[in-house]
Each structure stands twice: as C-alpha cells, then as structure tokens.
Structure 1
Amino acid sequence: MFMTSEWMLVTDVSDELSQMILESEQAARYAAAWNTVYTDKQLAAEVAAFQRLKDQYDEVQRFGKYHPDYSRVMKQIRVDKRRLDMHEKVAALRLAENDLQDLLDEVSFILGRSVSEAVKIPSGNPFFNSDSSCGSGCGSGGACSCSA
C-alpha cells in the first residue's frame, strides 16, 4: 500500500481528532476520577481484590453450581461489587467513564454516518444505534424483522 497525499491527510486529521478527544472535558474528568481512585492506596487495594474475585468468579462460572466455591464466590462478588459501586470515588469514576464513552460513541456515529448510512456502529447507547429499525442495512428481514 502506497502512502498518498489523501491518506496522509486522513491520518493527520485522525491525529487531530484523537488529540481533541484527549483534551476534552470528558477525558479530563475521567483522568481525574481515575487518579482519585487509584492514588487512594486502600481503595486501589479493594479494586485489585475485587479483580481477583472476578477471576475466581469466571472460574466458578465454568463449572456452575458444581464448583465447590460456587456459593461463597457468588455471594462475595455481589457484596463486594455493591460496596465498590456505592463508594463515592468509584461512582464518580463510573460516571466519568460513561461520559467519555458517550463522547466516543458520538464520534463513532458521526464518522460511520459520514461514510454510509449502512455502516454498523457498535454502541451500548441506543441513541446511536440505527435511526430506524432497519438503519443497519440488513435488508433481509434479519433480527430487526425488516425486509427490502
């Protein structure tokens, strides 16, 4: 593949867009919230312990109720997740993370639609999913039950 001036322009503009996102209010809030959580040694240790518990949870899920630690891990994961979710600093991080994700979803939506209305844009946000039930260009009566 040869580097054309058009391709160089695309890479330059994408670098500018990346920089704009990194300098956005949402990215700044996310970075500040992340630093607040992970510079708190006690809270960072709780998050690390929860991650280890999630690894155990994944292992238990493989075997289901037949795993010897099933009941203990299932109960503990719910208790620990709730405790972390209720922590003020973690909640602020989740909100900041959602705001940043919304920005990224919006940018993806705009980029995808500038290419074609049929471009599929992955997003957990229903606002950025297709504008109509058939906006993804399925045309065959697939999951959205539409037909061309």
Structure 2
Amino acid sequence: MISLDAKEKVVDTNELKIYQNTLIYSDSVIQLDNISRISVAPMEKMKVPTWAVVCILVGVIMMGFNGLIGFLILAAGIGMCGYILYFNSQLGHYLTIELNSGRLIYFSGKDAGFLKRIMKVLAECINSSQANYVVNMGNAQIEKVQFGDYNQMR
C-alpha cells in the first residue's frame, strides 16, 4: 500500500502519450531513460477510528440503561464503520514512476490489471524507442500508434 505525503500529488490526466523516448502527460514530458522503477500498488486504506469502536461498545452498554441514547451512540459508531468500509471498497491503485532523481510520479486508476498493462507498455518502450502508444486512462484503453509525415497523434 502507498501512503502519500501532503507534498506528493497524484497526476490527474486522461491521456498518456509515449512517443519515441518520451512520456507525455498533461503539461509534462519525461524522457524514458530517466525512469528507474515502475510499480503498481494499492491505495492506502482508511483505518477504523478507535472512537467508532468505543461508540459501539458504549452504545451496547447504554442500551441497558437508556435505550434511545444507547441506540443513537451505537448507530453513530456503526455508521462510521460502514462509511469507512464503503470508502475503502472504492479505492483503486497507483501506478508509480520513480525517476533517477528520486522524484515519484503517481497515476491513479481503479483497475490494477490496466495499470499493470501500462507498466508493461512502458517497459517495452524503454527497451525499444521505436514503440509509440496512446493510453486513454478514462476508457482504460491502450492503443499502439504510428507517427510519420501524414499521421496525426490522437
């Protein structure tokens, strides 16, 4: 699992372009030779706070003394636990690109399999500067393209 610091940001882009020896996204270009490591890891899950568990226990105990107050405290604890379980079920994965400088670049995605396919495409492009791809992050599509005099990049 990856836990991001406040200074680290996830790149939000719909499209990655790999052309010759460069990775192009948003307003940035990275030379593929500067990539030292690529990995896919799940996003960090939110932990259930201690106070939610305490609310459940206190709510169960309070129901013996005052049913309404006990029920409300119990409902608050169960509601928080339910919210956290739902939030964790919606998490995806990060495609992490580590540069030779030590900088980390994160791309997020729901499907780990798709991010692993992107990782394989990047590895292929690092080994062969002739491979050119367009990766549509929104539609989870990877398309091999050919560039030349009359070809347009989509």
Q: Tell me if both proteins adopt one fold, taking TM over 0.5 as the criterion.
A: no
- Whichever structure has more strand as a proportion of its residues is 2
TM-score with structure 2 setting the length = 0.25
TM-score with structure 1 setting the length = 0.25
Greater gyration radius? 2
Instruction: Flag the structure with more relative contact order, 1 or 2, with Cα contacts below 8 A and sequence separation at least 6.
Output: 2
